[in-house]
Amino acid sequence: MRTENRFKVLVLVGSPKGKAGNGYSAIQNLEAEMSKLGPIQFTYLFLNKVDLKPCLGCFACVSRGENLCPLKDDREKIEALIDEHDGIILSSPGYVQNVSGLMKNFSDRFAYTHHRPKYFQKKVLLVANGGAGLDKTLSALSLAIGGPKVVGKLAVLSPPWPLKDKAKSKNEKNTRAAATKFYQSLKDNVLPSPTLTDLLMFKFFKATSKECQTWLPADYEYYSELEGYYYRVKVNPVKRGVAAVIVRLVGFLMRDIGPPKLQGAQEKQE
Residues 119 and 98 in one domain: yes
- Does any domain span residue 2? no
104-110 mean pLDDT: 98
Distance CA 188, CA 197 (A): 22
Residues 41 and 126 in one domain: yes
Boundary (domain end) residue, out of 186, 204, 227: 186
Residues 14 and 73 in one domain: yes
- Does any domain span residue 191? no
Neighbours of 27 (CB within 10 A): 25
Residues 172 and 202 in one domain: no
Please report the pLDDT score of residue 156 as a whole number.
97
Q: What is the CATH number of the domain that holds 53?
A: 3.40.50.360
Distance CA 246, CA 136 (A): 28
Q: Quick one: the chain helix, strand, coil %, rounded to 5? A: 50, 15, 35
- Does any domain span residue 1? no
Boundary (domain end) residue, out of 186, 213, 248: 186
Q: How many domains does the chain have?
A: 2
Instruction: Decide if pLDDT at 99 tops 90.
Output: yes
- Please provide the DSSP assignment of 101-139 as one string: HHHHHHHHHTTHHHHS---TT-EEEEEEEESTTHHHHHH
Residues 103 and 46 in one domain: yes
Neighbours of 169 (CB within 10 A): 11
49-67 mean pLDDT: 97
Model pTM? 0.90
Q: Is the dihedral of CA 125, 126, 130, 135 positive or negative?
A: negative
Instruction: Decide if pLDDT at 263 tops 70.
Output: no
Please report the pLDDT score of residue 2 as a whole number.
58
Residues 160 and 222 in one domain: no
* Structural domain boundaries, residue 119: 7-186
Residues 51 and 136 in one domain: yes
Boundary (domain end) residue, out of 167, 186, 205: 186
Neighbours of 168 (CB within 10 A): 12
Neighbours of 62 (CB within 10 A): 19
Distance CA 7, CA 33 (A): 14
Instruction: Decide if pLDDT at 189 tops 80.
Output: yes
Q: How many contiguous H segments (helices) and E segments (strands) does the chain have?
A: 11, 5
Residues 167 and 141 in one domain: yes
Residues 104 and 234 in one domain: no
- Does any domain span residue 237? yes
Residue range 119-175, pLDDT digits in tens: 999 999 999 999 999 999 999 999 999 999 999 999 999 999 999 999 999 999 999
Residues 57 and 152 in one domain: yes
